[in-house]
Structure 1
Amino acid sequence: MATYNKRGYKPKTKAEKEQNIEEGSTTAEVFNTLDETASKTEDFVAKNQKYIFVIIGIVAAVVLGYLGYNEFVAQPKQTAAMNDMFQAQKYFNEAVTGTEKDSLYNLALNGGEGKFGMLDIIEEYSGTPSANLANYYAGTAYLRLKDYKNAIEYLGNFKSDDEILAPLAKGNIGDAFVQLNQPEDALEYYEDAAEMRDNEYTSPMYLYKAGAIAMDLGKADKALTYFKRIKEEYPNAVEASTVDVFIGKAQVLANK
């Protein structure tokens, strides 16, 4: 059991005296060690003072350089990119909803009326979020124009954590591979797109496409898994309204 000595208490027995000596000795050793460590640290600092200041200066320069670059280069560059991208986005949106789709997609890609297109944004503002987004627009425009190789290239350059755009980019690459008659590649991208995010829009859409391609490839068991997931996990999705038919077909093929 632990005991605590009161202030002014004097040891009476030999054992208590020895314990006090021991404790005093241990305390002295601790303080001596601390003193030695402090002295060594001071000696190290004194001997290497020049190098320490150089390292501190480098770290400070890197931090200040990053802050300065972000404030005076990166942010203004992004602002300019967004401004120059506005007309190209307008062309793209008009192509999606309009009638003269091919000419509008070409304008979105190459620009018009003296304004930048998506390809100009990618080249002129490389490294900015706008240039990254322009890769998505460009890839999708090429897909609509049936230029599937360029679609795959530009969509592959697009990087995003967005809930919708990230899986859409993957899925669009899958669509391009379908048109290039490369179903195995298409299936891989559809599977990736379906698993990237869990939402009621992209997840069931790409599970459905993955299931359809899997059926064509003779992978009925895999297709059945995807169709059942739509039915069980996304019952309110558009794809769920017809999925029972595909489940039936997949079951027949899987049992052959």
Structure 2
Amino acid sequence: MATYKKRGYKPQNKEEEKALREQGSTTAEVFSALDESASKSEQWVARNQNYILGVIGVIAVTVLGYLGYNQFVQMPKNASAANEMLYPNRYFNEALQNTAERDSLFLLALNGAEGKYGYLDIIDEYSGTPSANIATYAAGMAYKELQQYDKAIEYLEQVSPDEEITASLTLGSIGDSFLQLGQTADALTYYEKAFAEDNNNLTTPRFLYKAGVAALELDQKEKALGYFQRVKDDFPDSTEAQTIDVFIGMAQTQ
């Protein structure tokens, strides 16, 4: 057991004197090892100083480059893209309200005119921006309204859903396009993805209903019945629920 020795303490016998010498020797060895380790570390740093400074420099340049790119390139690009969206959005909204000229208005929204960008230009010129993503969704919807369903699917499948574009609406619109092309099985798959994506009182009963109708067409009556029954039980106040008993009856017939 170690004991505390006061300064100036003299050993009482030879064995105690020997123990003190060994203790001092061990302490000296520890400090010597520490000094040697520190010296080796300093030597390593000295030998690799250029490499270390290079790594630090690369990290600094990367961080500053990212901040600079975001502030001086990406942010102005996003702002410019958002400004360009004003023109095609105007024609898209007019097309929804003007049935007489809807096709020509949708084409103006897609292709632009008078030196102004359309959705397709924004997608090409401002790739990677939020506006390009919205333009991709709008282009898909415009092609769907123009009954160009292959193109509608092509663009809608590229959309990354965000706060402004819900995944359920995108997936459901792809399902609608496949249904119009006569690919009912594909339509059913996307309707199922659409109602599974988000649970709400608007899109969920809509795509459950559409999935049920598609399943009926494919003679998958048990699956259709399950979807129709869910509309009735979980969304009794929805528009789809108003006539759902008729479809439940159709699904129950043998």
The TM-score with structure 1 as length reference comes to 0.81
In 2, are the aligned partners of 1:164 and 1:202 still within 8 Å (CA)?
A: no
Aligned-residue Cα RMSD (Å) equals 2.8
C-alpha deviation, 1:180, in angstroms: 0.9
The question of 1:89 aligning with 2:89 is answered yes
Q: 1:42 to 1:142 in 2, by over 3 A?
A: same
In 1, are the aligned partners of 2:87 and 2:117 still within 8 Å (CA)?
A: yes
Q: Which amino acid aligns with 2:112?
A: G
Q: Which amino acid aligns with 2:220?
A: K
Distance in 2 between residues matched to 1:104 and 1:69, nearest whole Å? 37
Secondary structure at the aligned position of 2:85 is classed as helix
- Structure 2 residue aligned with 1:54: 54
Question: Residues 9-48 of structure 1 correspond to what in structure 2 (within 5 A)?
Answer: 41-48=41-48
Q: 1:163 to 1:43 in 2, by over 3 A?
A: same
Distance in 1 between residues matched to 2:232 and 2:116, nearest whole Å? 47
The list of structure 1 runs, each at least 4 consecutive aligned residues, that deviate by more than 6 angstroms after superposition, is: 28-37
Structure 1: which 5+ runs fail to align?
Answer: 9-20
Secondary structure at the aligned position of 2:162 is classed as coil
Q: 1:108 to 1:42 in 2, by over 3 A?
A: same
Secondary structure at the aligned position of 1:157 is classed as coil
In 2, are the aligned partners of 1:163 and 1:197 still within 8 Å (CA)?
A: no
Question: Residues 11-160 of structure 1 correspond to what in structure 2 (within 5 A)?
Answer: 41-99=41-99, 100-160=101-161
- Largest Rg, 1 or 2: 2
Structure 2: which 5+ runs fail to align?
Answer: 7-19
Distance in 2 between residues matched to 1:248 and 1:37, nearest whole Å? 85
Secondary structure at the aligned position of 1:235 is classed as coil
C-alpha deviation, 1:75, in angstroms: 0.8
Q: Which amino acid aligns with 1:63?
A: V
Distance in 2 between residues matched to 1:210 and 1:45, nearest whole Å? 67
Q: Which amino acid aligns with 1:58?
A: V
C-alpha deviation, 1:223, in angstroms: 1.2
Identity %: 55
Q: 1:61 to 1:245 in 2, by over 3 A?
A: same
Deviation digits for residues 40-77 of structure 1 (CA, Å, limit 9, x no counterpart): 65454333222222112111111111111110111111
Question: Residues 166-185 of structure 1 correspond to what in structure 2 (within 5 A)?
Answer: 166-185=167-186
Distance in 1 between residues matched to 2:35 and 2:222, nearest whole Å? 73
Q: 1:43 to 1:81 in 2, by over 3 A?
A: same
Secondary structure at the aligned position of 1:136 is classed as helix
Distance in 2 between residues matched to 1:212 and 1:39, nearest whole Å? 79
Distance in 2 between residues matched to 1:32 and 1:227, nearest whole Å? 83
Q: 1:218 to 1:32 in 2, by over 3 A?
A: farther
Aligned residues: 234
